[in-house]
């Protein structure tokens, strides 16, 4: 009992717990929607969404499907990291889809028009994303434009710009609205698989992009928590005044942060389009959902780069699972519905934590309290020691 009490106060555990509450509530609402559409198959459908690849019949098919999910988790994770990184510095990078589009645009152009190898394409994609991010950053720092609004505007601008650039004869397949397949256009631009595809029933879209994305997550975590640079950025995000008084350059930090966020999202696009998983459709009229799903993964991951890895996989898995349900009865967008409900519920995380701590402190009342009088309500959660 005592141990449990202490562990409940652990902030990381609380984050996981609240994320689970969000997931369960999100799934529950999704299930109710399915019931309303058609009660007969609702149980089966929600099971399919949850199980995703496991609902395939053979082991090989399962591995192949898992490979597909992982291949799309990598770009999603990059977008989530982009949003997570910026959020830690107090910026809401809803412009991640636009930075992702820029990455796709320049990454694919470099691959197909300039015939570069994948490393260079990746770098170009990162730079393109960084430039778009920096535009938002500069507008915020020098012109006081809310990064959310400029981000949304840039999402649409980049969508049309990308469509325009990738419609060029050099990169577009003349017979379809899609860009030329890398397989035929420029094999060297494909991110190598390094044998990983063998593990997933020869799924060629499984590449080193997956471990690279995880490495990026660790890198972001290290930068944010272990370096002087991260120390400065987070201080700026937490308390602008204190950061300024400590001699940190607030405006510069805003631009750098959004540029880094942009680079991450740009790399995310490269991690999708340079694996040959899919081609860019030059006639698309809506902003790709990858960036927006990244928001779900970020908040579900408790705003922690490592948590984001698991959250990204979960979100991608239910999205792919949604595509497997009986489409003649249920719409596959039910997964989008579930993830957006999860994002909405994440807005209540602070409240959940507050309620949890209130409940804990109520239960602990009368017990010995060796600590200081907490100055805030949510302070109670810091009391539990892990020593």
For another protein, which is the closer residue by CB, 42 or 182? 42
CB of 202 to another protein, least distance (A): 31
For another protein, which is the closer residue by CB, 10 or 204? 10
For another protein, which is the closer residue by CB, 70 or 315? 315
CB of 10 to another protein, least distance (A): 12
CB of 240 to another protein, least distance (A): 10
CB of 243 to another protein, least distance (A): 7
CB of 380 to another protein, least distance (A): 8
Phi-psi category of residue 139: left, alpha or beta, with phi > 0 → left and psi -120 to 50 → alpha: alpha
For another protein, which is the closer residue by CB, 131 or 161? 161
Q: Measured between alpha carbons, how far is 169 from 163 in angstroms, rounded to an integer?
A: 12
Q: Which residue has the tokens 């990162």?
A: 126
For another protein, which is the closer residue by CB, 67 or 90? 90
For another protein, which is the closer residue by CB, 187 or 229? 229
Q: Closest Cα partner for 70 from 321, 316, 318?
A: 316
CB of 128 to another protein, least distance (A): 17
Q: What are the b/e assignments for 372-381, b being 16+ CB within 10 Å?
A: eeeeeeeebb
- The alpha-helical segments, DSSP class H, found in 334-377 are 334-346, 349-364
CB of 46 to another protein, least distance (A): 14
Give yes or no for a contact between 334 and 34, defined as CB atoms under 8 angstroms apart.
yes
Quick one: CA torsion of 251, 257, 261, 266, rounded to 10 degrees? 70
For another protein, which is the closer residue by CB, 13 or 148? 148
CB of 293 to another protein, least distance (A): 9
Report how far Cα 180 is from the mean position of its chain's Cα atoms.
Answer: 27
Residues in CB range of 294: below 8 A, 6 or more apart: 76, 78, 79, 80, 82, 83, 96, 265, 268, 312
Q: Measured between alpha carbons, how far is 149 from 140 in angstroms, rounded to an integer?
A: 10
Q: Measured between alpha carbons, how far is 124 from 105 in angstroms, rounded to an integer?
A: 10
For another protein, which is the closer residue by CB, 195 or 247? 247
Report how far Cα 186 is from the mean position of its chain's Cα atoms.
Answer: 28
Beta strands in 53-191 (DSSP E): none
For another protein, which is the closer residue by CB, 31 or 118? 31
Tokens of 9: 């106060």
């Amino acid at each position: 009992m005592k141990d449990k009490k202490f562990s409940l106060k652990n902030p990381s555990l609380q984050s996981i717990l609240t994320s689970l509450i969000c997931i369960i509530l999100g799934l529950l609402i999704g299930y109710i929607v399915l019931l309303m559409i058609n009660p007969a198959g609702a149980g089966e459908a929600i099971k399919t969404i949850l199980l995703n690849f496991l609902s395939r019949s053979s082991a090989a098919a399962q591995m192949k499907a898992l490979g597909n999910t992982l291949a799309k988790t990598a770009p999603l994770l990059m977008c989530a990291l982009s949003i997570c990184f910026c959020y830690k510095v107090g910026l809401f990078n809803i412009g991640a889809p636009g930075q992702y589009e820029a990455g796709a645009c320049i990454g694919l152009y470099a691959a197909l028009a300039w015939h570069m190898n994948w490393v260079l394409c990746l770098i170009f994609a990162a730079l393109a994303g960084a430039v778009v991010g920096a535009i938002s950053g500069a507008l915020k720092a020098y012109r006081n434009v809310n990064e959310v609004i400029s981000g949304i505007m840039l999402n649409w601008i980049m969508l049309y710009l990308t469509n325009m650039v990738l419609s060029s004869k050099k990169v577009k397949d003349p017979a379809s609205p899609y860009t030329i397949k890398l397989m035929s256009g420029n094999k060297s631009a494909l991110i190598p698989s390094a044998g990983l595809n063998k593990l997933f029933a020869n799924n060629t879209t499984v590449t080193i992009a997956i471990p690279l994305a995880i490495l990026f997550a660790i890198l972001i975590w290290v930068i944010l928590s272990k370096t002087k640079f991260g120390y400065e950025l987070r201080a700026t995000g937490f308390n602008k005044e204190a950061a300024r008084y400590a001699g940190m350059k607030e405006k510069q930090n805003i631009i750098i942060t959004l540029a880094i966020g942009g680079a991450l999202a740009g790399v995310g696009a490269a991690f999708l389009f340079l694996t040959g998983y899919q081609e860019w459709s030059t006639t698309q009229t809506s902003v790709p959902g990858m960036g927006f799903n990244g928001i779900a993964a970020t908040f579900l991951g408790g705003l922690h780069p490592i948590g984001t890895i698991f959250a990204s996989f979960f979100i991608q898995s239910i999205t792919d699972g949604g595509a497997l349900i009986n489409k003649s009865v249920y719409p596959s967008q039910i997964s989008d519905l579930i993830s957006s409900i999860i994002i909405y519920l994440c807005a209540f995380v602070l409240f959940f934590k507050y309620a949890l701590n209130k409940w804990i402190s109520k239960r602990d009342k009368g017990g010995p309290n060796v600590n200081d009088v907490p100055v805030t309500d949510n302070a109670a959660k810091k009391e539990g020691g892990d020593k």
